[in-house]
Amino acid sequence: MLKILAAVAALAFPAAAQAQTPTPAPIEVMILGTYHMDNPGQDLHNARVDPVTTPEKQAQLEAVAEGLARFRPTAVAIERIARDQSTMLDHRYPAFTPADLLTDGDERIQIGYRLANRLGLTRVYAIDEQDHDGQPSYFPFEDVQAWAEANGRMDDLGAMHATVAAMIADFEQRQQTQTVGQILAGINTPERVASDQTFYSALMSFGSGDAQPGAFLNGRWYTRNAMIFARLMQAAEPGDRIVVIYGSGHNYWLRQMVQTTPGYRLVEPADYLPTT
C-alpha cells in the first residue's frame, strides 16, 4: 500500500508544480496601419496626401502620439530594413531631433520617431523585408497583368483598379474634413482591414491550370509579411508592448499573425487613437 501511495504522490506532485507555474504575460502588439504621408509614390495605387508638416497637421499628429502613449509601449517597429540584422535596431533613429518633424513628412518619423521620443524609448526596430536579387518579387503584379491581357480579363482587372481608385478619391476628400487621428482610426477598423484584403483575394481568380499568377502573388505577399513578423518576434522581449507602424496594405496579415501566434495579443489602435 505504501508503495502505491508513493507512486501516486510522485505522479501528482509534478502535475501540481506545473499547475502552479505562472503563465507569462502575452507580448502585446498594436498594428497601426497608416498611409504614406510623404507621397513616395511607390505603391500600385498612390494617393495625393496633404503635407503633414503644417502647424494644423502637426497638432493632429501630437494628439495621435498622445493617444498611442496611453498604451505605454516599450518598443516601436517601423517599415525600414535594419542595417544591422543582428539587433534590428533602426540605424536612423539615434540622429532624430524634434526639429525633423517640421521638415520630413515620412510617417515613420511623424508617428514612430515622435512616439518613441515622447516616451524616451531607445528600442526602435526596423523590421522590413524587400525584394532580393535573384529571387521572385514579393509583389509580381506584372505577371498578373500579362496573364489578364493574354486571357481577356483586362476589363475585370480594370474594374478592380477602379474600385481602389474610388477608395483613394474618398481618402483624399476625407483629408479635408477629418483629422489624422480620425483617418487612421478608420483605416484600422477590423471591417476596413478585411475589406482591403478583398483586392488581394480577388487576384487569385487570375490564372488557370499551371499558370496561377494571382495565387503566386498572394503567396509572395504573404511571405514578405511573414518575414516582417518573424523579425518582430525575434526582436520582442518578454512583457513587451510594441507599436508596429506599417503601410496599411500589410494590416491584414500582420494582424492575423499576431492573433494566431501563442504568447501574443493584438491590441486595437482605435482604443487609443483620438476621435476628434
Q: What is the pLDDT of residues 172-191, one digit of tens each?
A: 999 999 999 999 999 999 99
Q: What is the pLDDT of residue 9?
A: 47
pLDDT of residue 121 exceeding 90, the answer is yes
Is residue 14 assigned to a domain?
Answer: no
SS (H, E, C) 20-63: HCCCCCCEEEEEEEECCCCCCCCCCCCCCCCCCCCHHHHHHHHH
Please name every residue paired with 33 in a beta bridge, in sequence order, or none if there are none: 246
pLDDT (average), residues 221-246: 98
Q: What is the pLDDT of residue 132?
A: 95
Is residue 13 assigned to a domain?
Answer: no
| Cα gap 203→88, rounded to integer Å | 33
| Cα gap 78→90, rounded to integer Å | 8
pLDDT (average), residues 36-47: 68
Among left, alpha and beta (phi > 0; psi -120 to 50; other), residue 195 is alpha
pLDDT of residue 43 exceeding 50, the answer is yes
pLDDT of residue 166 exceeding 70, the answer is yes
At residue 48 the predicted structure's pLDDT band, cuts being 50, 70 and 90, is confident
Q: What is the pLDDT of residue 22?
A: 76
pLDDT of residue 246 exceeding 60, the answer is yes
Is residue 44 assigned to a domain?
Answer: yes
Q: What is the pLDDT of residue 35?
A: 94
At residue 275 the predicted structure's pLDDT band, cuts being 50, 70 and 90, is confident
Is residue 156 assigned to a domain?
Answer: yes
Is residue 267 assigned to a domain?
Answer: yes
Q: What is the pLDDT of residue 8?
A: 45
Q: What is the pLDDT of residue 223?
A: 98
The pTM of the full predicted model, rounded to 2 decimals, is 0.89
Is residue 10 assigned to a domain?
Answer: no
At residue 276 the predicted structure's pLDDT band, cuts being 50, 70 and 90, is confident
pLDDT (average), residues 185-204: 96
pLDDT of residue 120 exceeding 50, the answer is yes
Is residue 5 assigned to a domain?
Answer: no
- Cα torsion through 225, 226, 228, 232, rounded to 10: 140
Instruction: Return the C-alpha cell found at 134.
Output: 535573384
* Mean pLDDT score of the chain: 92
The SS3 assignment for 78 reads: strand
Is residue 20 assigned to a domain?
Answer: no
8 A C-beta contact, residue 228 and residue 250: yes
Domain that includes residue 179, residue range: 26-271
Query: How many domains does the chain contain in total?
Result: 1
pLDDT of residue 152 exceeding 80, the answer is yes
